[in-house]
Amino acid sequence: MKFEFVAPARILFGSGQFERLGELSKTLGKRALIVFNGSEALANTAKDQTAAAGLTANLFRQRGEPTVGDVDSATELARKEQVDLIVGLGGGSAIDAAKAVAALLGNGGSALDYMEVVGRGQKLTRPSITWIAIPTTFGTGAEATKNAVIGAPDRGFKASIRGEQMLAKIVLVDPILGHGVPSKVIAQSGMDALCQLIESYTSNGAGPMTDGLAMTGLKRAPSALKRAYRDRQDADALSDMALSAMLSGMTLANAGLGAVHGFAAPLGANFPVPHGAVCAALLPHVVRANVAALRASSKDHPTLARYAEIGRMARIAPAASDADAIDFLIQFLFELSRDLYIQPLSAFGVEDKDVDRIVALARKASSMRFNPIVLDDAVLASVLRAAIAGA
């Protein structure tokens, strides 16, 4: 057995933890930049807390998913203000932007210097400046990952800045922060978290550490997601989703993902579709295609047993045969998509004529190589067509 595992140094989880931001900030810096999205009132509360602790604090609103321009602008503001502490507050977009800014402040330069695929791909050689992650949408797990996904709209691609140095110093997860998040965001983000748990548990990069964490999340997420969507005041459901999402970040950072996230990079860069919506629309179709390809390669492929375990957890029927549990899982994912009103990709302007181009771009995405089996172009194309149509 051989593996490497990285995770944030300190995690504070539970109701009321957000109130500790001031006390924690005081020990970490003097001048803070809070990169946020979503609620302005919440960002102002964070600003007041850091100010009450004696720090100077500025706000930067991240609009949409971060682009090279956003990250460079926020970094410029932080340099001008001589910031020594970054707080990322909100959904994955704000947290990834904060993570990238902290890395650029520690390493110098601009986003494209370090971006994979579309940028110069330089390695980060120095630590990020200290940053705190505070998620509110409980989906992307960005608070626990070592990469920031950044869009380069002029190149039609999203790519990462990546490195262990990018892990947050403190992750502060307070389920109460999910109360104000729109149900559509809970649905899309939650499907992203569930997808990340499934993809990292069935990834060919999975290992014993990530397996344990993924199982802990997979026991909770299928039921918690439905409950949190129905009632955002359901404290247990939000707590389970907050935990599942954070765990999905830890597993994806160490085990990799799969074909859903392989598609997510070019789709997110070429169409105005949120990351969670892409993952939600694709997940059932990719699982069905992976299972078919695995079954065709070998009836006893070890990843089939993994899909079966996930199916048993979603169904809570431990006695089911592997084949039944897998079939149940596929059906469960399609039903979950319907229950959460997940839109097909056509709702975001993706059309059949885009399929070949997106398939070619998805091949280059880093997540694709962790898919448990190589799906050929014809299969990827049919998966994408099905996700476009929502069939």
Would you say 70 or 192 has its CB closer to Fe ion?
Answer: 192
- Residue 274 burial by CB count (10 A; 0-12/13-18/19+): exposed, middle or buried? buried
Is 192 or 240 the residue whose CB approaches Fe ion more closely? 192
- Is the Cβ of residue 199 or residue 234 nearer to Fe ion in the bound state? 199
Query: Considering the complex, what minimum distance in angstroms separates the CB of residue 261 from Fe ion?
Result: 6
Segment 160-164 long-range contacts (CB within 8 Å, at least 24 positions apart): 160/115, 160/116, 160/366, 161/100, 161/103, 161/111, 161/114, 161/115, 161/116, 161/119, 161/124, 162/116, 162/124, 163/103, 163/123, 163/124, 164/6
Q: H-helix or E-strand containing 251?
A: helix 235-255
Of the pair 246, 308, the CB lying nearest Fe ion is at: 246
Residues 49-88 that bind Fe ion (CB under 5 A): none
We find the least distance from the C-beta atom of residue 136 to Fe ion, in angstroms, to be: 16
The minimum distance between CB 327 and Fe ion, in angstroms, equals 25
Q: From CA 251, how far away is CA 243, in angstroms rounded?
A: 12
Which of positions 179-198 make contact with Fe ion (CB under 5 A)?
192
Is the Cβ of residue 264 or residue 375 nearer to Fe ion in the bound state?
A: 264
Shortest spacing between CB 146 and Fe ion, in angstroms: 14
CB 90 within 8 A of CB 66: no
- Residue count, binding to Fe ion (CB under 5 A): 1
Quick one: 50 or 93, whose CB is closer to Fe ion?
A: 93
| Of 172, 250, 176, nearest in space to 216 by CA | 250
Q: How far is the CB of 192 from Fe ion (least distance, A)?
A: 4
State which residue has the least CB distance to Fe ion.
192
CB of residue 279 to Fe ion, shortest distance in Å:
5
CB-wise, 235 or 348, nearer to Fe ion? 348
| Identity of the residue, 21 or 115, whose beta carbon is nearer to Fe ion in the bound complex | 115
Report d(CA 135, CA 154) in Å as an integer: 29
Q: Please, what is the Cα angle at 187 between 181 and 192, to 5 degrees?
A: 110
Residue 361 in contact with residue 259, Cβ under 8 Å?
Answer: no
Alpha-carbon radius of gyration of the chain: 20
* Contact flag: residue 240 with Fe ion (CB under 5 A): no
If the CB atoms of residues 139 and 178 are measured against Fe ion, the closer one turns out to be 139
Q: How far is the CB of 11 from Fe ion (least distance, A)?
A: 19
Give min distance, CB of 249 to Fe ion, in A: 9
What are the backbone dihedrals phi and psi of residue 251, each rounded to the nearest 5 degrees, phi first?
Answer: -70, -40
Smallest gap from residue 287 Cβ to Fe ion (A): 15
Q: What is the full DSSP assignment across 17-82?
A: GGGGHHHHHHTT-SEEEEEE-S-HHHHHHHHHHHHHTT-EEEEEEPPSS-BHHHHHHHHHHHHHTT
Instruction: Using the minimum distance from each CB to Fe ion, give the nearer residue, 261 or 306.
Output: 261
CB of 60 to Fe ion, least distance (A): 23
* Residue 105 in tokens: 């402040």
Hey, CA dihedral for 391, 352, 370, 244, is it positive or negative? negative
Q: Where are the beta strands (DSSP E) in 115-251?
A: 131-135, 147-152, 157-162, 170-173
Which stretches of the chain bind Fe ion, using CB under 5 A? 192
